Amino acid sequence: MLLFQNSNWLFLVISCVLCDGSLQPGFSKLQYGHRLDRKVIQSFAEVSFLDCVIECLVTPRCKSVNYFKGANFCEINYENKTTAETNYENGTGWVYSEKEHWPKELAGACENANCLINQTCKHKRYTQDKAFDCVPSDCGIPFKTGIDLSTTKREDAIGIHRRIHASCSDGYFQFGSGQLICQSNGEWKYDIVCEEGWVQSENHIYRLFTEKKNWESAKDQCESIDAYLVEIESSEENTWIYHDIVQQHFLPIMNHCTHSKWNCTVWIGGSDQSRESQFIWSKSKNIITFTKWFLDNPDNYKGNEDCIEMLAITGEWNDRSCDYNTGFICEKNLN
Ligand SMILES: [Ca+2]
Ligand SMILES: [Ca+2]
Ligand SMILES: [Ca+2]
């Protein structure tokens, strides 16, 4: 009987906390027309003001909330107006409130949960269910080689949304939409890869490799990065590759090139391995129509020259033994 009375009493206290009396300090200290800028851990759409406060109470790192009444939009902050004075500013339609003005009991089962500083406590709201879980509260600052986060706008700056857009730093080529999504496991999902070394011409990109490989290995390396050994289909493409890649990026670092043109070459993707004198491109399997052969070539010297290299000095082609080790150029189509 005593137990029954106690639990009834407990229920009464919880009900009162949730209805009026104890909430008074929190409501009486609301700061209308203000918000704390750029200190957001997480934001939530379509939540009530009280649920916004509860999100803060169950997140150890949270110190205050911003709430936009018109859109039922909630932001929970890792600072308050005392710790981040200069970020406290006017904001029409916003309400600002501090965590310490609200009764801890609002956190329900999470009231005494010892979640880590980068976690938030999940529980069933407005019930006496004692079950809770500690889950990551945000994804932190995203990091990936070559990503430039300085271009993100205020609305999607780090933490303000669980979804942001980034781009690649100078010198990196961007693959993917640039979208980053903070997943519920606390990890960013990246739809962006920034790679160094690619140069673009129209809807193709090219990348020079100076490490020396035989033709087959060079071809494999291009395929391993979702590209192919370059296929040169026109005089314009040959000129562009010769001027913009070979002369600009290859010759300057190959200081021995002046001694012999035969020591300074790059593999391109053509060969006559399957049928002597019928040169085809390895990726498209197209028969090679445009050619830029160096004097007296292709000559199939010693009956053993089936792969095509470009002479870095002149931009002209030579057939050579596929076992020779030299640099190479990969090409990739942009969709
Ligand atoms: Ca091409
Ligand atoms: Ca041959
Ligand atoms: Ca030759």
In the chain, CATH 2.10.70 sits at 147-196
Q: Which fold has domain 198-333?
A: Mannose-Binding Protein A; Chain A (3.10.100)
Q: Mean pLDDT, the chain, as a whole number? A: 87
What is the C-alpha to C-alpha distance for residues 135 and 126, in angstroms, rounded to an integer? 20
Altogether, the residues listed in the chain come to a count of 335
Measured in Å, residue 221 CA sits from the centre of ligand 1 at 17
What is the C-alpha to C-alpha distance for residues 75 and 93, in angstroms, rounded to an integer? 14
In the chain, CATH 3.10.100.10 sits at 198-333
100 secondary structure, DSSP code:
G
| Cβ–Cβ under 8 Å, residues 290 and 234 | yes
Q: Which fold has domain 147-196?
A: Complement Module; domain 1 (2.10.70)
Ligand nearest to the CA of 304: 2
Q: Residue 142 pLDDT more than 60?
A: yes
What is the C-alpha to C-alpha distance for residues 176 and 155, in angstroms, rounded to an integer? 21
DSSP string, 244-306: IIIIIIIGGG-TTTTT-GGGSEEEEEEE-SSSTT--EETTT-PBP-S--B-TT----GGG---
Measured in Å, residue 307 CA sits from the centre of ligand 2 at 7
- Residue 171 is predicted with a pLDDT of 85
161 pLDDT band, cuts 50/70/90, is: low
**Residue 34: exposure state from Cβ atoms within 10 A (0-12, 13-18, ≥19):** middle
Write the CA distances from 179 to 51, 90, 119, 203, integer angstroms. Answer: 29, 30, 24, 22
Measured in Å, residue 257 CA sits from the centre of ligand 2 at 25
Which strand (E) or helix (H) includes residue 18?
helix 2-19
* Architecture of the structural domain at 26-134: 3-Layer(bba) Sandwich (3.50)
Q: Cis ω on the peptide bond leading into residue 298 (within 30° of 0)?
A: yes
Looking at residues 153-173, what average pLDDT do you find? 71
Q: Residue 332 pLDDT more than 60?
A: yes
In the chain, CATH 3.50.4.10 sits at 26-134
Q: Residue 7 pLDDT more than 70?
A: no
Instruction: Identify which of 206, 194, 201, 186 has the alpha carbon closest to the alpha carbon of residue 170.
Output: 194
Measured in Å, residue 245 CA sits from the centre of ligand 2 at 26
Q: Does the pTM exceed 0.75?
A: no
- Residue 118 is predicted with a pLDDT of 78
In the chain, % of residues over pLDDT 70: 90
Ligand nearest to the CA of 307: 2
Ligand nearest to the CA of 204: 1
Measured in Å, residue 246 CA sits from the centre of ligand 2 at 24
Measured in Å, residue 124 CA sits from the centre of ligand 2 at 74
Tens-place pLDDT, residues 64-108: 999 999 989 999 999 999 999 999 999 999 999 999 999 999 998
> Phi and psi of 310, rounded to 5°?
-100, 135
Which strand (E) or helix (H) includes residue 16?
helix 2-19
| Partners of residue 73 on adjacent β-strands | 68
The contacts of residue 305 (CB under 8 Å, 6+ apart) are 298, 299, 318, 319, 320, 321
Q: Residue 59 pLDDT more than 60?
A: yes
Measured in Å, residue 299 CA sits from the centre of ligand 3 at 5
Ligand nearest to the CA of 240: 1
Measured in Å, residue 298 CA sits from the centre of ligand 3 at 5
Tens-place pLDDT, residues 207-226: 999 999 999 999 999 999 99
What is the C-alpha to C-alpha distance for residues 207 and 209, in angstroms, rounded to an integer? 7
What is the C-alpha to C-alpha distance for residues 228 and 231, in angstroms, rounded to an integer? 8
Measured in Å, residue 267 CA sits from the centre of ligand 3 at 13
